[in-house]
Structure 1
Amino acid sequence: MVSGLDIIATVKSKKMKQDFIFLIQDMWYFEIINGIGLALWLNARC
């Protein structure tokens, strides 16, 4: 039998996993923008 607390714990861990994935995706997106910005900056300097 599954208790209410088990369900809450499962939902919380799934939510944390999703938040973590979103965080990685946001960082990945930020890295691309940084990479493009860096490339443009280097091109402008050369």
Structure 2
Amino acid sequence: MAPERLSDVPAVIATFTVDRLAYSLSPPVVAAVIDFEGGGRFQCELTDVDP
């Protein structure tokens, strides 16, 4: 498997959720799934967002 640079690839947020029940130092936890143009999907937690 070869590394792929995705920082310059256009992407959209496919879905997100705001979790007010999970423990966090800075609640709520906001998680998102990012779809990259040309294929590829990334699941992550978002920071510095206003839910």
What's the TM-score, normalizing by structure 1? 0.19
Q: Which has the larger radius of gyration?
A: 1
Higher relative contact order (CA 8 A, sep 6+): 2
What's the TM-score, normalizing by structure 2? 0.18
Of Structure 1 and Structure 2, which has the larger fraction of its residues in strand?
2
